[in-house]
Structure 1
Amino acid sequence: MIRTALLLTCVLTLAACETAKGAGRDIEKAGQAIGNAASNVQKAL
């Protein structure tokens, strides 16, 4: 029983790390898009 609980905890921890890493990439891409849009607006002014 303890072995099963430990294995499940490890799997969930690894899944959470991958989810956080993916979210970080998405947020970074959104930030870059906003930065590019701001640069384009500045150039247009």
Structure 2
Amino acid sequence: MFGRCVAVLSLLGVLLSLTGCNTVAGLGEDITGSARTVQRAL
């Protein structure tokens, strides 16, 4: 049950982030920005 809730919440998060990008190029920029942030943190 817990795993299903986590999966549903993860899916909702992905869908919300995709709607915020509006385009495939925007999604690529968001992923690049996220990767840079993680890289700086490490």
TM-score scaled by structure 2?
0.52
Pairs aligned (count): 24
- Which of 1 and 2 has greater Rg? 1
Residue in structure 1 matched with residue 4 of structure 2 by the alignment: 24
Task: Structure 1: give runs of 5+ residues left out of the alignment.
Answer: 1-20
Task: Structure 2: give runs of 5+ residues left out of the alignment.
Answer: 27-42
Residue in structure 1 matched with residue 13 of structure 2 by the alignment: 33
TM-score scaled by structure 1?
0.48
4+ runs deviating over 2 angstroms? none
- For residue 37 of structure 1, give the secondary structure of its aligned residue in structure 2: helix
Identity score, percent: 0
The residue correspondences of 1:2-17 to structure 2 (distance < 5 A) are none
